[in-house]
Structure 1
Amino acid sequence: MAPATDIHQKAITLIGQLPQDKLIAVVQLLEFLAQPPQSSTVSPQETQLLEVIESHISEEEQIHLNTLRDRCEWDELSEAEYQELIGYEDLLEEKRVKRLEALIQLAQIRNIDLMRLNQQIQLRSQPSHAV
């Protein structure tokens, strides 16, 4: 058996052993990997949209926000802290809206389904544990 045939057979065997709930994720990954490579050049417009999509508050801000949320849950916030929490929540909502708008525009530019684009971006941003 040729090496290429061996690896295909091994993949088929492993897929056959997967539980049903894992099979969906494997199929999505295979679909992503089977797509033809996009050109390595990304337009300035796409770069700008990707920056919006991948934009987050800083780690320090996230820690502070989590603290405010926890303290709010226990009714331990001063009025000023409560207003700060509302400001953070408004900022995050605005970021979510801008992210969605950027995703829609990028999906239109790349002529792909919005859900598929979102999956690609999530896969791209997850650390790989492959050896």
Structure 2
Amino acid sequence: MTAPTEIRQRAIALVEKLPEETLFKAVDLLEALCIENGVVTLGEETLLQRIQRRLPTDDQTRLTYLRQRNETGEITEAEHQELLGYVDRVERQDAERAEALIQLARLRNVELKTLLNEFLPVYTKPNAL
């Protein structure tokens, strides 16, 4: 079995070889693993960035287009695979956002419901007939 120091050096070497555009994904993955293992407590600013993160405009436009094509049944197999990739990405971001909300609630020592009210739009119940 490889010693922890060798594994860390290997991880660093792999990160250094990554193209710049994939570094964000690598950092997101590493942060998620740290959070999962209780290694790092992120600061409020970092948590807020994670909570407020959304797809870039170009990606959101493409996702909307692919969803529309899927709904009308006009989507190709390649587009369907691309759509599934976007869905996976959005679901991963949603899970990270939920974890960040939980951590921020702990950090601020408030109930999660309080933060949800701050970050999510308020939905009102329709009037009873």
1:73-113, CA deviations, whole angstroms, 9 ceiling, x for partnerless residues?
A: 11111111100000000000000000000000000010001
Choose 113-122 or 98-107, whichever is displaced more: 113-122
Which residue number corresponds to residue 63 of structure 1?
A: 61
1:1-131 to structure 2, matched below 5 A, reads 45-122=43-120
Mind listing any 5+ residue stretches in structure 2 that lack a counterpart? Answer: 1-41, 122-129
Give the Å deviation of 1:122. Answer: 4.1
Identical aligned residues as a percent: 41
- The letter for the 1-side match of 2:86 is Y
CA distance in 2, matches of 1:120, 1:75: 38
Aligned pairs, how many?
Answer: 80
CA distance in 2, matches of 1:122, 1:68: 26
Find runs of 4+ consecutive structure 1 residues off by over 3 angstroms: none
Mind listing any 5+ residue stretches in structure 1 that lack a counterpart? Answer: 1-43, 124-131
User: Which has the higher Rg, Structure 1 or Structure 2?
Assistant: 1
1:60-84, CA deviations, whole angstroms, 9 ceiling, x for partnerless residues?
A: 2111111100001111111111000
